[in-house]
Amino acid sequence: MRYLGKLIGAAIGLLLFHNPLLALLFAAIGHMFDAGMLRTQPRLDVHGYIDPLFALLGAVAKSDGRVSEAEIAVAERLMGRLGLDAAQRQRAIARFNAGKQPGFDVGLVIGELKAWCGGRRDLAFPVIDMVVETVLAEGGVSAEKLKILRRLAWSLGVTEMDLVAMMAMKGYAWTPPGAGAGNSGYEPPRRQASGPDPYAVLGVPRSADARTIKRAYRKLIGEHHPDRLGNLPDDMRRRAEQRAGEINAAYERIQSERGFT
């Protein structure tokens, strides 16, 4: 428990002003410091993720041997959705090409993305979602691409079940390695007319009770609410809004099937 600010505030009130009421007032101000309410947060560089992101996309695309037209198209669409100007676009292309080179240090750019996210899962998910687009660009997923994706997720504090949910939202079925006997770690895409599996989206088993489902929903919607993102590019905000919408839709579908409110 943080209490130093309260103690200092109370001491100022008593020792300098000899007034119990002022001691309480300064203690309250000290409490706000303890709680972080009056601390200045470092300003987020809203474009600080672009260089390492596009380098990582190049490495992901090249990891299984060759970069396909579909993977290049994903990178180009992403540049457009992020609203990159001419200079930023050229830099992103250069970083993408750098990521394709033999011996490229994937760990370095993952570290840069980790530093940019600063432990915030609400920033980590849009970043991972952009990488997932390249991973899934060709329809299937190679072991090499999946390895990089899982390494990124682990570094950013995103669990295997979170990845299962992200792929479920895109209509892909995936079971983490070791989750079942004889499991290879990835199942080919299985799109269903009824949409993504709502239980996979919420990260709960079908046997989960209503309390567990509600708790999972509240946790997810709290983490992915777009209002938490602040001043970020529109594409990242749209991704957060889409993910929040998928979470709401999954919960409403389960509510309808189970008959609880």
For the stretch 47-73, pLDDT in tens is: 789 999 999 999 999 998 889 999 999
Tokens of 242: 């889409």
pTM (2 d.p.): 0.69
The answer to the question of residue 40 being in a domain is no
Cβ-based burial of 67 (10 A; exposed 0-12, middle 13-18, buried ≥19) = buried
For the stretch 122-176, pLDDT in tens is: 888 889 999 998 988 887 778 889 899 999 999 999 988 888 888 777 777 666 6
The answer to the question of residue 256 being in a domain is yes
For 29, the domain range is 4-34
- Asked whether residue 152 falls in the same domain as residue 218, the answer is no
- Asked whether residue 69 falls in the same domain as residue 131, the answer is yes
- Asked whether residue 119 falls in the same domain as residue 196, the answer is no
- Asked whether residue 154 falls in the same domain as residue 51, the answer is yes
The answer to the question of residue 71 being in a domain is yes
- Asked whether residue 152 falls in the same domain as residue 61, the answer is yes
What total of structural domains would you count in the chain?
Answer: 3
**What's the residue count for the chain?**
261
- Asked whether residue 197 falls in the same domain as residue 127, the answer is no
Spatial contact of 121 and 223, defined as CB atoms under 8 Å apart: yes
